Amino acid sequence: NLGSKFQGIFKKVRGHGKLTEDNIKAALKEVRLSLLEADVNYRVVKDFVNKIKEKAVGENTLSGINPGQQFIKIVNDELTELLGGTNARLTKAHRGPTIIMLAGLQGAGKTTFAAKLAKYLKKNGEKPFLVGADIYRPAAMKQLQVLGDQIGVPVYYEEGSKDAVNICETGVKKARAEEATYIILDTAGRLHIDENLMEELNQIRKKVRPQEILLVVDAMIGQDAVNLASSFNETLNIDGVVLTKLDGDTRGGSALSIKAVVGKPIKFIGVGEKLEDIELFHPERLVSRILGMGDVVSLVEKAQGAIDEDEARLLEEKLRKQEFDLEDFLKQLQNIKKLGPIGNILKMLPGVGDLGDLAPAEKEMKKTEAIIQSMTVEERRKPKIINSSRKKRIARGSATQVHDINKMLKQFEQMKSMMKMFGGGKGMPKMGKGFK
Ligand code: GDP
Ligand code: MG
């Protein structure tokens, strides 16, 4: 029934109040736990929670949202900001190819990411070139060659060579000769940070002068990520981080710590073993994941964006005076549409399970919208004047049948009388403060 679907919107009455230390206490605890559970560094959590508390206390609460939810939204925004606001872009050289050097521990996902990035760049019209410089693991260069073949990207490596610096220099020359636009250097890793590895990477950096050094970090290593990123950054002055294996259970809090402690942005994430499992880093998505409450956040955002407060007040007024007409009805339909598919809206509410197929309800809404749009303003304001010849015209205009018009008008009347009941409070529960 269409009418009941509107109740959620009408329920968004304006509650007044401020966030107080008291009503944010529980939420604060939840955030602290979420952050620690997600492997965010303890000190980072402590600083952050204090900052949030300062910021949140005294904020006005929004309509239709409880203080806890609003608090989460504040936390969400601050975390997103901490992670670097909008996503950081890959550098591009002004002239000639852009050289990207990958660094990281063994097994972090460097070779996989090299191929993922090459595929991604190729898809974006670039001409990538891969250089395999892992001289320690016997199969490492072959692994890169196999991946390069899969995506049709040239790979340079020297079988049996013991000189990674030389491989990179020669590789870059070859790539330039082939007019590559991006050169990706896949380097060796160790199980732990060690002097020799750092020295070798540093030599490559000095000789090849990459525009971009990306540290590839396995999201599953948790707290260690901060120390790891710090050491690599000290030696190499990295430009950014790639966080791999975010497809697993890990919540990726290490990313947050890296950004907070090392100050370098996360540029890409790896979300699977396949070569298309690469995503540009979107701080807001990771934050939702860390907080584990992304749905609450988007609900708050949508409520903020889609429902204009003045419009809501006007609507209340009209409902009270029984002046709600088809034009208002149309506006409400359009507001609901702004919120997205009905299923998504309902799914965001805690405790709502499987709703079955909602496609018919949405189709119905579209039809209703089309019908009202085919009416004249006068007809919308005074539906009573819609006689059979008008109905025929409206049906033609909205590509519907006369019986659809009749059905819609009947539903509208039912809805109006239902609202009258709620508004009048004759033994029925009131819908909230706004309906007084
Ligand atoms: P490298 O030693 O740093 O070059 O690491 P590799 O690229 O060889 O990857 C090590 C392992 O991690 C391989 O089994 C990859 O398939 C796997 N791997 C890499 N990136 C991801 C990712 O984003 N998600 C998952 N699930 N596995 C990944
Ligand atoms: Mg490798």
Q: Is the pLDDT of residue 403 over 70?
A: yes
For ligand 2, an ion, list residues with CB under 5 A: 110-111, 140
Q: Is residue 2 part of a domain?
A: no
What angle do helix axes 67-82 and 42-56 make, rounded to 10 degrees? 130
Same domain, 119 and 78: no
Q: Are residues 104 and 206 in the same domain?
A: yes
CATH number at residue 350: 1.10.260.30
Asked if residue 26 belongs to a domain, the reply is: yes
| Residue 235 assigned to a binding site | no
| DSSP assigned state of 81 | H
Residue-level pLDDT at 427 = 31
Residues 276 and 144 in one domain: yes
268, 273, 279: residue to mutate for ligand 1 pocket, most atoms within 8 A of CB? 273
Q: Which residues lie closer than 8 Å to 87 by C-beta, 6 or more apart?
A: 267, 280, 281, 282, 283
Name the closest-CA residue to atom 16, ligand 1. Answer: 273
Per-residue pLDDT tens over the stretch 273-298: 999 999 888 887 777 777 765 455 55
- What is the pLDDT at residue 298? 55
Residues 343 and 322 in one domain: yes
Q: Is 333 found in the same domain as 188?
A: no
Identify whether residues 311 and 172 lie together within a single domain. Answer: no
* CA–CA distance, 51 with 46 (Å, rounded to integer): 9
Report residue 2's pLDDT band, with 50, 70 and 90 as the boundaries: very low
Residue 409 domain-assigned?
A: yes
Which residue would you say has higher pLDDT here, 435 or 396?
396
Type of residue numbered 378: E
Atom of ligand 1 nearest to the CA of 277: 23
Tell me the per-residue pLDDT of 131-185, one tens digit each, with 9 for 90 and over. Answer: 999 999 879 999 999 999 999 999 999 998 999 999 999 999 999 999 999 999 9
Sign, Cα dihedral of 104, 106, 112, 114: positive
Is 122 in the same domain as 255?
Answer: yes
Contact by Cβ (8 Å): 97, 176: yes
- Per-residue pLDDT, 49: 87
Give dist(CA 184, CA 155) in Å, integer: 10
Dihedral angle over CA of 279, 281, 287, 289, nearest 10: 20
Atom of ligand 1 nearest to the CA of 272: 24
- Using pLDDT thresholds of 50, 70 and 90, give the confidence band for residue 268: very high
Atom of ligand 1 nearest to the CA of 102: 3
Q: Does the residue 273 lie in any domain? A: yes
pLDDT digits (tens, 9 = 90+) for 366-376: 889 999 999 99
pLDDT of residue 1: 31
Structure tokens at 312: 């809501």
Give the pLDDT of residue 62. Answer: 62
Tell me how far apart the 2 most distant CA atoms of the chain are, in Å.
89
Whether residue 286 contacts residue 255, with contact meaning beta carbons closer than 8 Å, is answered with: yes
Mean pLDDT across 10-19: 42
Q: What is the pLDDT of residue 425?
A: 35
Report which of 252, 293, 245, 377 is spatially closest to residue 65, judged by C-alpha positions.
Answer: 293
Please indicate if the annotation marks 339 as binding a ligand: no
Question: Rg of the Cα trace of the chain?
Answer: 29
- Sign of torsion over alpha carbons 33, 35, 36, 39: positive
Q: Report the nearest atom of ligand 1 relative to the CA of 106.
A: 2
Asked if the model's pLDDT at residue 207 lies above 80, the reply is yes
User: What pLDDT score does 211 carry?
Assistant: 96
To which residue do tokens 């608090």 refer?
71
pLDDT band at 75 (very low <50, low <70, confident <90, very high): confident
Q: Are residues 81 and 133 in the same domain?
A: no
Please state, in angstroms and rounded to a whole number, the distance separating the CA atoms of residues 232 and 201. 10
Q: What is the mean pLDDT of the chain?
A: 80
- Percentage of the chain beyond pLDDT 90 is 40
What is the reported pLDDT for 133?
A: 96
Q: How far is the CA of 112 from the centre of ligand 1 (A)?
A: 6
Residues 6+ apart with CB under 8 A from 211: 91, 92, 93, 98, 99, 100, 239
Q: Which of 105, 111, 112 to mutate to test the pocket of ligand 1 (most atoms within 8 A of CB)?
A: 112
Domain boundary among 60, 86, 112: 86
On whether residue 298 sits in a domain, the answer given is no
Domain that includes residue 407, residue range: 307-435
pLDDT score of 10 = 31
Residue 276 and residue 425 share a domain: no
191 is in an annotated binding site: no
Backbone angles phi, psi at 223, to 5 degrees: -55, -35
If one compares 339 and 256, the residue with the highest pLDDT of the two is 256
Whether 343 is covered by a domain: the verdict is yes
For residues 377 and 400, state if they share a domain: yes
| pLDDT: which is higher, 128 or 312 | 128
Question: Strands 266-270, 278-280: parallel, antiparallel or unpaired by DSSP?
Answer: antiparallel
Taking residues 397-418, report their average pLDDT. 88
| CATH number, domain with residue 117 | 3.40.50.300
End-to-end Cα separation, the chain, in angstroms: 25
Q: What is the CATH number of the domain that holds 51?
A: 1.20.120.140
The verdict on ipTM greater than 0.90 is yes
* Residue, of 13 and 98, whose pLDDT is higher: 98
The answer on 232 and 131 residing in a single domain is yes
Could you say which ligand is closest to the alpha carbon of residue 109?
A: 1
Distance 113 CA to ligand 2 centre (A): 9
Q: In what order do the strands lie in the sheet with 155-156?
A: 155-156, 128-133, 182-187, 98-103, 212-218, 240-244, 266-270, 278-280
Residues with CB under 6 A from ligand 1: 104, 106-112, 189, 216, 244-245, 247, 270-273, 277
350: pLDDT strictly greater than 60: no
Residue 70 located in a structural domain = yes
Is there a contact between 212 and 101 (Cβ–Cβ < 8 Å)? yes
- How many domains would you assign to the chain? 3
Token pair 């001409």: residue: 127
**Cα 330 from chain centroid (whole Å):** 30
What is the C-alpha separation between 264 and 242, in angstroms, rounded? 11
Contacts of 383 (CB under 8 A, 6+ apart): 325, 326, 409, 412
Asked if residue 245 belongs to a known ligand binding site, the reply is yes
The 10s digit of each residue's pLDDT in 218-235 is 988 877 888 899 999 999
Position 12 scores a pLDDT of 32
Query: pLDDT-derived band of residue 305, with 50, 70 and 90 as boundaries?
Result: low
